[in-house]
Structure 1
Amino acid sequence: MNDYLTIADIIDIARGRRWLIAAGVALFLALALAGSFLMTPIYRAQALLVPANTSSSLGGSSGSSMLGQLGGLASLAGVLLPSDAETDEALALLKSRELTQAFIEENDLMPVLFHKKWNAETGEWRVTGDKVPTLWDAYKYFNRKVRKVYQDKATGHVTLQIEWRDPQVAADWANELANRVNLAMRQRAIDEAARSIRQLNVELAKTQVVSLQQAIAQLVQTQIERQTIAEVREEFAFRILDRAAPPDLDDYERPKPVLYAAVGMFMGFVAGLSLAVMLDRRRVLDAKRRLPEPVVA
């Protein structure tokens, strides 16, 4: 008898032990569904952002042309002009360690993020020494498990997603992070414009060339406009097209019972079929052992 199983052999075994396979499917299905219902639901809230075009606010196309002509002078004076690079900077800031850790610290989120290690009754960590979570641990966890940022390259739209146990908290965090990056970029623009204006005034006092004085005056005017825009426009880096809203309690992102059920049924089928094949192989081997040994003449 051939010890190798063919597809036909496996089909015959499955037919003969179909109740065993069915029991395996039922068992794993029950375990998968039980696990999905015992897991804490995770909700997703998301905000839709679009990069704010600061350059267009500084005189439109004519302003952009003027800035291009004065770019060389601006670089010599250490002046930062509006550009598309601001969008990349704002996007990087949104995912940055600095902004994330400040958000966690100011909202006292360490006990929230690591609630299993925190004793709410005593207000102390349940763990000691190196096992106590640090801000770096919090940043890595938040960046890996909680916050996700996607940008549509075609439209430039940015989607900020927060996944958390509480739907309202998820929405609040998404909206606050969007506000924080706008506030941080506004303050940077205000500070940079103020430094640029001071430096340009120094350069203006040094030159007696009328054309150069006019060019510097244009740059100063541009920086004043930029500073003013940053001071009055709350949505400076990103315009918030759609603020995050808490999803319904039954609209959770994870777990997905249907997916868990499908995986459980597949694993149950594989486990049941494997056990059926093992039992059949054992039966065949036992039958071989019971055969009488051939008599040598």
Structure 2
Amino acid sequence: MRSESEMSNNSTNQQNNYPQPYPPQFADDEIDLRELWHAVWSRKWSIVLITALVMSVALVYALNQKNYYKAQVVLASAQGEGKSAGLAAQFGGLASLAGINIGGGGASDTGTAIAILQSRKFGERFIQENNLKPVLFADSWDKNKQAWIAKSPSVLASIKNIVSPASNEATPGYQRESLAPNEPSLWNAYKRFKGIVSVAEDKKSGFITLSVEFIDPVLAAKWATQMVKDINAQMKEQSLTEAQRSNAYLEQQLKKTSLAEVKQSIYQMMEANIKTMMLANTSEDVVFKTIDPAVVPEEKSKPKRALIMAVAMVLGLMLGIFWALIRNVINKEPDGLKE
């Protein structure tokens, strides 16, 4: 028979083996969903007010944004890459010795044309030839007086001039652009023009899409069409110049050599240059062929006001709930002060 003391000790040991409840200091760390819901629901009108305030600001912003329209041109390469590659394989060595590029040995004319379209030189030339400054900076141009409007500098611009004043000293070898009073520079015009023009190439199909996004849909379509004409004209002129220079060099080399095989190769290269000049003179689509021409868009591309309002509503709700939870923590009495 066990004594009562031994039985009491055994019962005490068994109780000690059972999991003990969390200490009181950690019991309040558990998340009480009912408490969170009560904190949010008790301040529901404040959350609604914050959400409405954020949506009102977003609505004012969305309504003040101008509508932009995107005109697109779908292009395809007009180059005969197979014939060019075959010619390069046959006479590539001789042409390289003569310093002549007959194609197929590097970047194609299509890749070169895309790079030119995206270049600063082409953009600035397009702006100057079409007199786009008054259109790009319409808020600074007075149509009636045909003059630029003088604007007072913003606070940020004034601070910037104080911190780092612009130097009026001309850089040696650099000629500054001649500007009318208050006229924006060509540099700033290109920065704005670059933001409305984009060129994308589909690597699988090989099609190129030229997009112009502007507040005037008619001008957007007009500029997209004109840019394709300009790049074809520029590549045509470049192709003719290179072919003529190549033939002039080949004629000189023809007079210096007496080998029949070399003469035959030179004649064939000259024939290829003549064909290039004939194709360039008989076709306007030298490098790009228009598959889908630009049309005046009827639907705006941006701003997406419905999306702006949806994001504003979600953001307003999140801010309102966050504020309600913070207020609940601040107003909650510390446990140590409870009686």
Give the TM interval when normalised to the shorter protein: 0.7 to 0.9
Residue 165 of structure 1 deviates from its aligned partner by 0.2
Partner Cα distance (1:181, 1:195) in 2: 21
Q: Which residue of 48, 54, 57 corresponds with 1:22?
A: 48
The aligned runs of 1:29-48 (5 Å cut-off) are 29-48=55-74
Structure 2, unpaired ranges of 5+: 1-24, 154-165, 167-181
Residues 4 and 73 of structure 1, relative CA distance in 2, 3 Å threshold: same
Name the structure 2 match of 1:156. 206
Partners of 1:128 and 1:209 lie apart in 2 by: 75
Counterpart selection for 2:96 from 75, 81, 86: 75
- Distance (whole Å) between structure 2 residues aligned to residue 265 and residue 245 of structure 1: 36
* Structure 2 match to 1:279: 327
Q: Deviation at 1:88?
A: 1.3
User: Identity over the aligned pairs, expressed in percent?
Assistant: 31
Deviation of 1:243 after TM superposition, in Å, equals 1.0
* Residue matched to 2:116: 93
Give how far 1:265 is off. 0.2
Relative to structure 2, which stretch is displaced further, 236-245 or 29-38?
29-38
Distance (Å, rounded) in 2 between the aligned partners of 1:224 and 1:283? 89
Rounded to whole Å, the distance in 2 between the matches of 1:89 and 1:261 is: 43
How many Å separate the matches in 2 of 1:38 and 1:22?
24
Match runs of 1:172-187 below 5 Å? 172-187=222-237
Q: Which runs of 5+ in 1 are unaligned?
A: none
- TM-score normalised by the chain length of structure 1: 0.86
For 2:136 and 2:274, the matched residues in 1 are separated by 42
| RMSD across aligned positions (CA) | 2.7
Per the alignment, residue 114 of structure 1 pairs with 137
CA contact (8 A) 2:72 2:209 kept: yes
What is the CA-CA distance between 1:4 and the residue it aligns to?
7.4
Whole-Å separation in 2 of the counterparts to 1:3 and 1:168: 66
Q: Match for 1:20: what amino acid?
A: S
Counterparts of 1:126 and 1:3 in 2: how far apart (Å)? Answer: 66
The 3 A distance-change label for structure 1 pair 14 and 167 is same
> Are 1:204 and 1:213, in contact at CA under 8 Å, matched by a contact in 2?
yes
Question: Given the superposition, is the C-alpha separation of residues 81 and 34 from structure 1 closer, same or farther in structure 2, using an over 3 Å criterion?
Answer: same
User: What SS does the corresponding residue of 1:161 show, helix, strand or coil?
Assistant: strand
Residue number in structure 2 paired with 1:137: 188
The one-letter code of the counterpart of 1:245 is V
When residues 66 and 80 of structure 1 are mapped into structure 2, their CA distance, relative to the original with a 3 A threshold, is closer
Larger Rg: 2
TM-score between the two structures when normalised by the length of structure 2 = 0.76
* CA spacing shift, 1:230–1:101, aligned 2, 3 Å: same
Rounded to whole Å, the distance in 1 between the matches of 2:249 and 2:62 is: 62
Please give the secondary structure, in 1, of the residue aligned with 2:332. helix
With over 3 angstroms needed to count, the CA separation of the structure-2 counterparts of 1:186 and 1:7, relative to structure 1, is farther
How far did residue 121 of structure 1 move?
Answer: 3.9
Partner SS, residue 160 of structure 1: strand
